[in-house]
A and B are shown apart, each in its own frame.
Chain A
Amino acid sequence: MNPINSSRARLLVTTIGLVMVAVGCSDESVRVYQVPKEQAHAQQPPAATERPNAPTAHVHWDSLPANWKDRPVTGKMRAAEIGITGSGGQEAELVAIPLPELAGKELEFVNMWREQINLTPTTTAAIAELREPLTIAGNPGQLFDMVSDKPLTEGQPKQRILVAMATIEATTWFFKLTGADELVAQEKSNLKGFLAKVELHTAAHDDPHAGLASAPPTQSAPPAAPAPGLPKWTVPAGWTAATPGPMLLASFDLAGGGGKVTVSSLGGDGGGLLMNVNRWRGQIGLSPLTGDQLSGVTKEIDVASGKATLVDLSNNDRRMLILVVPHQGQSGFYKFLGDASAVGKEMDAFLQFAKSAQY
């Protein structure tokens, strides 16, 4: 070993020590800087990605219970807002909120509402027991009833939340009634009656009753050559073109109001057949299937672009037919929802319509 020079060694150790102290002392400090003024980003997002529904979605009703009062809508997301007054000055509020399709996310929503009244989160298994079926604008929906364990504010009554929801076409409608426990519980039957008759619109329209299933057709079937960008198809006699909702290519009402046909298209397989079938099953109040059970509700049929898959779902008097047509790396979804009898009667016309589509 070389002899160690003491002064050099001291220098080495001191240098290393200083570097280590410097490392340990580094800290961020306040910065002051000048930047060019930011210019507003003028470009609008493409229409397809704009938040659907909110600006023009609205709700129609014929009458309200005596203690319900229509109020101007205050939130951007809201399609309707109703104030409810009970005996003794208790108050509750009903709001309608349409959102892009959210079927299958009930657990997240229910837990969000439960948290608002300090209830612990529930589970997928337990949520089935909390669900009550009801009808919203002629569609199957579900109702969740939650009440706080104790008053949220001292001296005030316990709080109750009733939320009714239904997915109609590509929109999930939420009706949330919140307020004092006793008052909201009393208004539950009024809410069910109100929702059964309510009319829901996702887009603006001139005549509030134009295009509704119960209204007589106001225009004839569209010409065989549809708008640019749509496939060419032959529309069966008696079908009335309606304004397609967000995400839809086309929408048709059946004469007599027994059902509705919608057409949409998604990239690839649109998320997979099982996931979609279970989503559609949820829309008519059926429980999800496993992959093994899928063959029981699907069958393959020949169409011009190859093999298409027909999904046939029924629940009581509601029936839903969906024809999934793969084409050019996309999947076309032809969906027919309505009364079981009307859907059965028009099934052949529906299949002919879907088969006539040329991409």
Chain B
Amino acid sequence: MRHALKFISSLRLTVALLSLSLVLVFAGTIAQVEYGLWDTQVRFFRSLFVYWKPAGGEFAIPVLPGGYLLGWALLVNLLAAHYVRFKFAWSKLGIFLTHFGLIFLLLGQFFTEQMQVESSMRLEEGQSKNYSEAGRSTELVFIDHSNSEFDEVVAIPQSQLASGRELAPPKLPFQVKIEEFHLNSRLRQRAPMMSTNPPAATQGIGVQAELIPAARATAMDAINVPSAIISFKGDGAPTGTWLVSLNLDQPQTITVGGKSWDTALRFTRHYTPYSIGLLDFRHDKYMGTEKAKNFSSQVRLTNPTTGEDRETLIKMNQPLRYAGTTYFQASFEPGRDDITILQVVRNPAWLTPYISVIVIGLGLIVQFSMHLFKFVNRRKSS
């Protein structure tokens, strides 16, 4: 155990981990060409290991430690070093503060990574919403409208959708089988005389569509359009296959045992107990050009739980912070002056980088000041 602790607290390990971090950042940068930014982040930095699968191979081999592993290893190394060598002395206050700031920064980033939820809200003037939508993840939902007061939603995350997988979601009296799942796809309306492929599904809207699998989107501004062919099992479950896709505007209704559910594959929604309505969207341009000068959204915030009902202006660099969530003026729809797009960020750890940087800065000031005073005193005495 002593040898193990000596190893994990060693400076050699620190240097090795920092070197591996450099290699990881370099490899991750190169990998963006093939995988795109978002996928690279997941494969290289939000993982314990970076895997590589030989062409035609069955199994992926870990070839590099991932961002999570390196981050935790650095944290453990730092904590262990303090644990092994800790001996409080005022002369080392600066170093302690700097290291504490670093530990806080690493932990803060980890919690940000785990807890931050980024989504967006698209509002037309006169429209009000109590949810935002994640732009890069989807969910397969089954919505029960039978209650007159509310809708009950069963949402299966995209991470559980895989070809051949059978799911038994809670609150549903039937099982869902994912016959096919395509991360990116296109739909094409079937023209009877031009059809080259069978219809995507045997029931619902899928009868009129062809499903064309597409390569994973890697460009920064491109998104994947997932589609799936699903079927149902259970007493009274409908027969045949159904197409669900992010490209379909409207949900489809399935009936099981006399009860109906709307089903759709849609962007993951994050609901709030309050709603935000768009009153007016302004998109000012520099005169004579199409260059954006200013965007702003006059919104109405209504919260029935607190009785709040007020208007506020969201504009560039002036977000709305409410109930732990921040609404930034993010974008607009070209050609539509009545639609705003707000970026919605919920990050309970948003203060940690600020605190960390202040503590690290303070530690460095203390440390360098002590050295400076020592140096000046030595010169005086000599």
Contact = CB atoms under 8 A, between A and B. Distances in A.
A12 B84 CA distance: 11
Interface in B314-357: 335-338
B151 A2 contact: no
Contacts of A24: 48, 68
B170 interface: yes
B157 A30 contact: yes
Contacts of B222: none
Contact of A42 (B68, B126, B139, B154): B126
Contacts of A8: 83
Nearest to A161: B194
Contact of A41 (B1, B4, B110, B127): B127
B155 A35 contact: no
A33 B142 CA distance: 11
Contacts of B151: 34-38
Nearest to B123: A41
Q: Which interface class (under 10, 10 to 19, 20 to 34, 35 or more) fits B?
A: 35 or more
Interface stretch (B27-35, B233-241, B287-295, B371-379): B287-295
Contacts, number: 134
Interface string B90-132: 0000000000000000000010001000000000111100110
B285 interface: yes
Interface stretch (A13-21, A197-205, A256-264): A13-21
Interface string A292-319: 0000000000000000000000000000
A28 B4 CA distance: 35
Contact of A33 (B76, B145, B155, B191): B155
Interface string A187-198: 000000000000
B130 A35 contact: yes
Nearest to B197: A152
A84 to B, nearest CB: 11
Contacts of B289: 268
Contacts of A1: 84-85
B260 interface: no
B250 interface: no
A246 to B, nearest CB: 13
A105 interface: no
A43 B170 contact: no
A32 interface: yes
Given A16-B76, A36-B130, A37-B145, A49 B170 contact: no
Interface string B144-158: 010101111111110
A283 B149 CA distance: 57
A34 B194 contact: no
Contacts of B169: 30, 32
A2 B84 CA distance: 6
A159 B80 CA distance: 72
B271 interface: yes
Given A30-B155, A268-B289, A4 B5 contact: yes
A179 B5 contact: no
Contacts of A269: 288
Given A49-B336, A152-B196, A329-B287, A30 B5 contact: no
B87 interface: yes
Contact of A4 (B2, B150, B152): B2
Contact of A36 (B85, B150, B154, B290): B150
A30 B170 contact: yes
A87 B191 CA distance: 22
Nearest to B168: A30
Given A27-B159, A93-B193, A35 B150 contact: yes
Which among A27, A34, A269 has the highest number of chain B CB atoms within 10 Å?
A34
A43 B335 contact: no
A91 interface: yes
A89 to B, nearest CB: 13
Contacts of A29: 157
B171 interface: yes
Contacts of B338: 45-46
A25 B75 CA distance: 19
A30 B160 contact: yes
A116 interface: yes
Contact of B194 (A35, A178, A268): A178
A20 B130 CA distance: 36
A27 B156 CA distance: 12
B85 A117 contact: no
Contacts of B155: 30-33
Interface string A263-276: 00001110000000
B193 A92 contact: yes
A6 interface: yes
B244 to A, nearest CB: 16
Interface pairs A-B: 8 shortest CB-CB: A43-B126, A28-B157, A34-B150, A152-B196, A329-B288, A31-B155, A329-B287, A9-B5
Given A9-B5, A9-B83, A12-B80, 17 more contacts: A2-B85, A4-B2, A19-B72, A23-B110, A24-B48, A27-B159, A30-B160, A32-B152, A32-B153, A32-B171, A33-B152, A35-B153, A37-B150, A49-B336, A153-B196, A159-B193, A329-B288
22 contacts: A1-B84, A6-B2, A10-B1, A12-B80, A13-B1, A13-B5, A20-B48, A24-B48, A28-B157, A30-B155, A31-B157, A32-B169, A32-B171, A33-B271, A36-B130, A43-B125, A49-B336, A152-B195, A159-B193, A178-B193, A268-B288, A269-B288
